[in-house]
Structure 1
Amino acid sequence: MKTHPVNISRIVKKRTTKPKGSFYTVCWIQDEIKYIEIDKIIYENVSNAIFFLDPINEWTISIENTALSPGYIMYLSKEILNEPLLSKLHINEVRLFNSGEIPKINLSPGIAKRTQAILEMLDELIASSLNSKESAILSLLNTFFVYCDGQCNIKSIITSNNSKSNIVYKFKKLVDKNLSKFHQVNDYANLLNISSKYLNECVKEILHVSAKDIITEQLLMQSRHALKFSGRSIKEISFELGFSSPDYFNYFVKSHTGNTPSAIRKS
């Protein structure tokens, strides 16, 4: 194991175990693995999740196919987590790395792609000899944790059976899957067989925003991504995202961002 305060490796061995040393560990499981064992407890059918492990945690990751890597492992020193830029994050305030619980974050598909890009850039920087690379590494780490701590992600504790957390997790998965069809909280409440009031109560308690805020944020993220990185017309994008007309799409985007879709596309 290198002595750099940040190290990233892909999961490639049939069994990957905690290395020697006092490292905090971020395990990002993209594709389903056989299991992850943490402090002698086995968790199976794990995918699309990030685990945050304290140095005192003993852990092993077991995979079936070594030809296909299911994710990444990032090792962090205590010193780098105490850097001023990182210490101000809410993710540290709630003691994401702690010895009492095993925090796990489930990422939405859009966030997962961005997270992978950040990890890949981090890995390139760590291996480089570029000037000011330490500052750049800190900035990317900060961005990584901001995404993990974002309101469109679900923080959950794998030792907990909190029913409200489960509802919010299911709500987020439904939003990811049905955003082009449903834009109203009531639609998702019906899919979950609960009232809109209770769904909103759950989301506010877990994420500190409203259920409508989650839907709106996802619509804005997907709108901006399509406008900036696709060649589809604004009319096509509006209908693909489930808006009744390009005019309403224009109104929605401008009312929430201050810019028209055309302006966002040109920026």
Structure 2
Amino acid sequence: MYKITDQLKNIGFSINRLDYIISRNNNRRELNTLEYFCIYIILEDIHLTVESVLYPLKRGNIAFVGPQKNIVFGENKKADVYVIAFSSSFYERSNKDSLFINSQLFYNYDSHIFIAPLINIEQMRVIFMERMENFRNKDESLYISAAHNAIERLMLDAFLHIPTEEIKKDIKFDYMYYVNRFKVLLQRDYKKAKKVAYYAQELNISSRKLTEMTEYVLGKTAKHIIIEKLITECKKALNFSNSTISEISYELGFSNEGNFTNFIKKHTGKNPSEMK
């Protein structure tokens, strides 16, 4: 299985040349996007297979692929393809951000991939390959802010190529309001509330309706999203804090270490101590 870079793991964002990613993948050209949103800057012709469907991509395009997609990269000669990967927690700072990453760019109904022309290739080279590296060497907080702004610019440019009629008729834009609020509430209350019914009540809708919305927008049940959040926070605590498993279980709102261990074991197949 492909091992993500330390930068992507630590801050939720990375940009690398495709040849570097393939090298890290033991020269295998197959990988999975996992929980990450991916944008490919195509500066040379390449074939991309997503979920067994072949997409010939021409130089001068950008391609958007959502989480949990199986991808195979075709051969490329110049190594002039760049891969941007980021997590929802890295990018989402507002409802507008949630609207962007839960849109047709990454959850296209008719295709596993959304392709749009790259407005200015040379300008993108400066922004992503030169300016970003300067920020990275100078200050991490500036780098993160620059990365967020650069991703937003690419998405805004791509939005120009989604037909207005499709955006207007897209029921997801109604659903996204509730899903975004659910995710905000979950971020706030995941330590104390682990039931779908709690969040549905906060949103003044039924549990069934909330799950319908999350399945439509994110492809996951509301319960699954809650479980994923708890597991993610567990991994963060295990890897980036000095807390004991008992302390982590308390911090995450479990009544005791045993319940916490059983929960993690049930949903990951591992004990908490094995997740580092």
Q: TM-score by structure 1 length? A: 0.45
- The structure where helix makes up a greater share of residues is 2
Q: TM-score by structure 2 length? A: 0.44
